[in-house]
Amino acid sequence: METTLRGVGVSHGVAIGEVRHMGTAVLEPPAKQIPAEEAEREQGRARQAVEAVAADLIARGNLAGGEAQHVLEAQAMMAQDPELIADVERRIAVGSTAERGVYDAFAAYRALLANAGEYLAGRVADLDDVRNRIVARLLGVPMPGVPDSDEPYVLIARDLAPADTALLDPALVLGFVTEEGGPTSHSAILARALGVPAVVALPGAGEIAEGTVVAVDGSTGEIFVEPSESKRSEMRSAAAARKAALSATTGPGATSDGHKVPLLANVGGPGDVPAAVEAGAEGVGLFRTEFLFLDDSERAPSEEKQVAAYRAVLEAFPEGRVVVRVLDAGADKPLAFLTPADEPNPALGVRGLRSLLDHPDVLRTQLTALSKAAEGLPVYLEVMAPMVADRADARAFADACREAGLEAKFGAMVEIPSAALRARSLLQEVEFLSLGTNDLAQYTFAADRQVGAVSRLQDPWQPALLDLVALSAEAARAEGKSCGVCGEAASDPLLACVLTGLGVTSLSMGAASIPYVRATLAKHTLAQCERAASAARAADSAEEARLAAQAVLSGE
């Protein structure tokens, strides 16, 4: 009998197929003591396993390319952390086997992360995956990963590590469902980049039996277990109509009455550019430069290396707009040369612009590299600072840009509620605002973006979050300046219309979402978008806001 479950839809599309469950490694090796004379051999085994797993993660990243590559390289660095390896070797020296030493050392580090504030706790799933891979190699058991299957299937897992998500084959994995995660987790972001329908934060998903037929709607978050033939037909028809609408709508983003809404791409480096160009992105609304710095956590990349990476992205958008976010280090992206190691709550500590102002040489080098990368190019370069809290922050960043001789627009990201509440004050110092809705939701609701249990508070449809967006957009309009959105909220086609109605002037998202947003905007007038925005803000919950906006835009 058909039953309906609801999680959080994070990647558009429909998938209908049989369930396959994610395989897991043996998690806990037996505890047994080894003679002292075997310690050196066991330490060698542990080092070899760590290096093999790190190499495998890097190889997977090279195959995947784009943003997935950066995520997997960061995971490889986690595996090779010198303090972790030293702890493993200490445990082996006092009698642990290699596999038990790895397991216990990672468990201790896991506890530190879990207690270091909600933001860092979001890295626990990545750490568990690294541990499982190393232990599996040492025990000689199959690695955790997607199941072997010759037939297409819907994958169900407790959570998906980046190493698994990055190499999903869309020809076999029709879609995936996870019990944990949130709309801005690594898995969700990578699913959107792959164009694989996905639903996360669905408690009890693991109880759906292997081989059960399910229908997954990655837009609504609905899962239909044992769907009827009529339901399958209905969903296939809707998917076909959506695909036809996507191919029929081309060109720059705009409402049906001609109000322009530039559709830009979020990129992590040159590897993400081809997909953005193919999707018809009108430029880049968020160039995340931190991935370049994560290649070596001990030192900043040279000016020359930065120039080459930046220029490769800038050259891809001649006469287009490219918005670069300077290094956003700290919290879940710690860098040894920049980030304090003993902060009790890194997400609320020295991160983003705060780190850069404490290390002006790092900021100066990056701004100089950006200036040199743009020389001779017709691109419209804009540079923005992350984690701006007040006018003093905005002024300090603008001053640093001017001192570096940067010929570009300077902007501030609105990720902290104080920045939204005082947006007009910030705009006395900078020329544009860009709303990072992922972090803005996290700080508004005190809800970690990686924790599935609080995913409802990470929903960008929350009326309180829409109020902050409206405040920022109204301030920018009053000052005659622009206010874009570069958080994952922009990738929701219906919400994109609401954001447009709130006064947002551009939308930036993963490349795979651009056609969906373009087609949806083209169906509605600016006035309809404004009415939908008003209806959504008048609601009392995210779900009510979504339904209210949907009713307006569908003419109900």
User: Which are the catalytic amino acids?
Assistant: 186, 486
Q: What's the number of CA atoms in the CB half-sphere (13 Å) around residue 123?
A: 27
* Three-class DSSP category at 304: helix
DSSP code, position 178? E
Please give the single-letter amino acid code of residue 191: A
Q: At which residue do the structure tokens 């943003």 appear? A: 67
Residue 457 near residue 445 (C-beta atoms within 8 A): yes
CA 8 to CA 441: how far, in whole Å? 16
Query: Which run of H or E residues covers position 249?
Result: none
Tell which phi-psi region holds residue 364, choosing left (phi > 0), alpha (psi between -120 and 50) or beta. Answer: alpha
Please give the single-letter amino acid code of residue 341: A
Q: Sign of the C-alpha dihedral, residues 447, 453, 458, 464?
A: negative
CA 283 to CA 318: how far, in whole Å? 9
CA 540 to CA 492: how far, in whole Å? 20
Query: In sequence order, what are the residues at sequence separation of 6 or more whose Cβ sits closer than 8 angstroms to the Cβ of residue 380?
Result: 283, 319, 320, 321, 322, 409
Strands, sheet with 153-157, edge to edge from the N-terminal-most edge strand: 3-6, 222-225, 213-217, 14-21, 153-157, 173-178, 198-200, 8-11
- Nearest 10 degrees: Cα torsion 14, 190, 311, 440: 100
Which residue in 549, 465, 551 sits closest to 183, CA to CA?
Answer: 465
> Alpha helix locations (H) across 195-325?
229-248, 273-278, 290-293, 303-314
Count how many residues are written for the chain.
556
Please give the single-letter amino acid code of residue 122: G
* Three-class DSSP category at 154: strand
Please give the single-letter amino acid code of residue 259: H
Per DSSP, what are the bridge partners of residue 409? 382
Which residue in 189, 330, 191, 339 sits closest to 268, CA to CA?
Answer: 189
Take residue 328 and report the two structure tokens written for it.
Answer: 């956003």
Cβ count within 10 A of residue 250: 11
Take residue 161 and report the two structure tokens written for it.
Answer: 């590590």
Query: Which run of H or E residues covers position 171?
Result: none
Which residue in 469, 468, 475, 467 sits closest to 490, CA to CA?
Answer: 469
Take residue 125 and report the two structure tokens written for it.
Answer: 């799933």
Cβ count within 10 A of residue 367: 25
CA 430 to CA 128: how far, in whole Å? 42
CA 335 to CA 293: how far, in whole Å? 8
> How far apart, in Å, are the Cα atoms of 183 and each of 190, 198, 199?
11, 10, 9
